[in-house]
Structure 1
């Protein structure tokens, strides 16, 4: 049996320290992003993080998981 000698492509992971980008044209993502920014401005990290999770989980047809 021969071993594979070619490299696998690297796995690309998103940077968890950066807020997610809202999908252009999506009113739900835009509203969540505004809420996230407002929460961050008042140092409400828990709410800001919740908004980030909701943006990442909001479904869009044809969008691959990040």
Structure 2
């Protein structure tokens, strides 16, 4: 039964671009961007998505948005 399974590259059929931080001077957002880049290098898409969610949800004053 050898050769019945083939590994297939998994890709997101609906890719969404990584969000930019709402406030580029925010230390938390900057740390999340660095962490997200590390996850990208590791090809850990779950970690990338987690960072993107945190970046989108990180609170900033409305004037900055």
Normalization by structure 2: what TM-score? 0.68
Cα offset, 1:18, TM superposition: 0.5
* Structure 2 residues without counterparts, runs of 5 or longer: 1-14
The number of residues matched between the two structures is: 50
Return structure 1 stretches of 4+ with deviation > 2 angstroms: none
Seen in structure 2, the aligned counterparts of structure 1 residues 63 and 39 have a Cα distance that, compared at 3 Å, is farther
Q: Deviations over 1:14-34 (max 9, x none)?
A: xx6110101210000000011
Question: Which residue does 2:44 correspond to in 1?
Answer: 44
Question: Which residue does 1:35 correspond to in 2?
Answer: 35
Which structure carries more relative contact order (alpha carbon 8 Å, separation 6+)? 2
Q: Deviations over 1:1-25 (max 9, x none)?
A: xxxxxxxxxxxxxxx6110101210
Compute the RMSD of aligned alpha carbons: 1.9
Normalization by structure 1: what TM-score? 0.68
Cα offset, 1:64, TM superposition: 7.9
* Structure 1 residues without counterparts, runs of 5 or longer: 1-15
